[in-house]
Structure 1
Amino acid sequence: MSRTLVIGANGTVGSELVRLLRAAGHNVLKATSRPVTDPATEVHLNLLTRAGLDTALQGVSKVFMLSPPGHTNQDELLNPVVDAAKANGVQKIVLMTAMGANADDNAPLRKAELHLQNSGLAYNIIRPNWFMQNFNTFWIQGILEHGKIFLPVGAAKGSFIDARDISAVAARLLSTDDFNQRDFDLTGGVAMDHDAVAAILSRVTGQTITYQDIPEGDMRGALLQAGLPPAYAEFLLMILGFFKLGYSERTTDAVQTLLGRPPITLEQYAADYRSAWVKA
């Protein structure tokens, strides 16, 4: 049986992708930089040092990969995976980057995309918009402590996507060759500003949650205080700046095309994750 390697298997998208692939009968190997606990289903792989790269790819026919968070040199981390995959006989790679990554050919994520496109391998590239799950992870502290979503994005709108839809799309693309050599920008079905998001979270949780626009400097301080590397903090501020300029408002029909159903709504996401925001 062919084997699928999932790089980023412990993350929000990767963990659900592993579940979906295994439920569909795929033989899945999880790449992890942590100590391996089950050699039958896991393999050690450190993208920063490339330790374990060739071993991880042995006997693998398909790969899902993304760049680990906290790093801005995504091409330097991902391009060696593409080269090693080709050398080890991998047939197809599905790469997840981010919506807007293809706007600048000199950007590290775009360099990774181009390297894959020029590799001769079968591929798909998926570029999701901002995750709905950010509201129950990265932005949750302000919600729990102050009842506020603190972000420096003004009244700009985003077509937020549920990470479960991203996983489902990746699973679909790893299960068929019908869409090979194509890239897809993945969005939710509607665009809304953060006041609208806060209103939905308030209605679902029964709590008062509001949005507060903050200066970029305040966001920088919060990111650095949270322990993010300065370069990555500046990267996040840059893409939040693009959000503020309106670049995250666009919607696409990619989820409908690939999954045959509409994207998960923010209302459904909020209901499913309600316990994250409801105080004990």
Structure 2
Amino acid sequence: MNDKFDSFSGLLRGALGDRLMAGSDMVDLFTEDVLFEFPYAPEGLPRRLGFIDADDIAAAAVACLVSAEPLNDDRILTGPEALSYEDTAGILSEVTGRTIRHVPLSPRDLALRFEAQGLPPDYAGILAGLDETIRTGVEDRTTDGVAGLTGKAAGSFRQFAGGNVGRWQA
């Protein structure tokens, strides 16, 4: 776009790091236990989310910040397709050449997992509750929010995984 855009985008990418947005939760996909178990879902029917790459979130944020006119509205940003946790595990298996599986957890077990990763119990419970809400299908959608703001379609989860496969194979 322009130098101002590239500067802000680089700053936001640096702040977000190697993360992918999944619904309301930032999920770090680079930890070994997540890569092998992918446990971030309560048990039950598959839920789908419009997984979005942090670079697309950063680009959309920059577009908002440098817009000549105030947007004065809310935008829902998603990736180009809604995927279940099983779908993402399959894609990760394909791109890494390793068997990746999704292990569903009950809301209580999910909260305990978050606590074991260092989150305070109250916050762990809130995150587990958000994931429980996903079970209702509320996040089973996609939008053109990224393209509307940046002029470029959001990248897919497969593109994200393929672009980061070297980090997981280390």
Verify same fold: TM over 0.5: yes
Q: Assess if the C-alpha contact under 8 Å between 1:133 and 1:163 holds in 2.
A: no
Determine which of 54, 70, 84 is the counterpart of 1:193.
84
Q: How does 1:1-280 map to 2 (within 5 A)?
A: 21=4, 23-24=6-7, 130=23, 134-137=27-30, 140-144=31-35, 147-153=36-42, 154=44, 155-278=46-169, 280=170
Unaligned runs of 5+ in 1: 1-19, 31-127
SS in 1 for 2:92: helix
- Bigger-Rg structure (1/2): 1
Change in 2 beyond 3 A, CA 1:143/1:229: closer
More helix by share: 2
Alpha-carbon deviation of 1:129?
A: 5.2
Q: Assess if the C-alpha contact under 8 Å between 1:161 and 1:186 holds in 2.
A: yes
Q: Assess if the C-alpha contact under 8 Å between 2:5 and 2:63 holds in 1.
A: no
Distance across 1 between alignment mates of 2:122 and 2:106:
19
In the superposition, the TM-score normalised over structure 2's length comes to 0.80
In the superposition, the TM-score normalised over structure 1's length comes to 0.50
Alpha-carbon deviation of 1:168?
A: 0.2
Alpha-carbon deviation of 1:134?
A: 2.0
Q: Assess if the C-alpha contact under 8 Å between 1:148 and 1:210 holds in 2.
A: yes
SS in 2 for 1:199: helix
**One-letter amino acid of the counterpart of residue 136, structure 1:** L
Distance across 1 between alignment mates of 2:5 and 2:32:
33
Misfit runs of 4+, over 3 Å: 20-24
Change in 2 beyond 3 A, CA 1:194/1:214: same
Q: Higher relative contact order at CA 8 Å, sep ≥6: structure 1 or structure 2?
A: 2
Q: Assess if the C-alpha contact under 8 Å between 2:50 and 2:142 holds in 1.
A: yes
Distance across 1 between alignment mates of 2:25 and 2:160:
7
More strand by share: 1
- Root-mean-square deviation (CA), in Å? 2.7
Unaligned runs of 5+ in 2: 13-20
Q: Assess if the C-alpha contact under 8 Å between 2:50 and 2:78 holds in 1.
A: yes
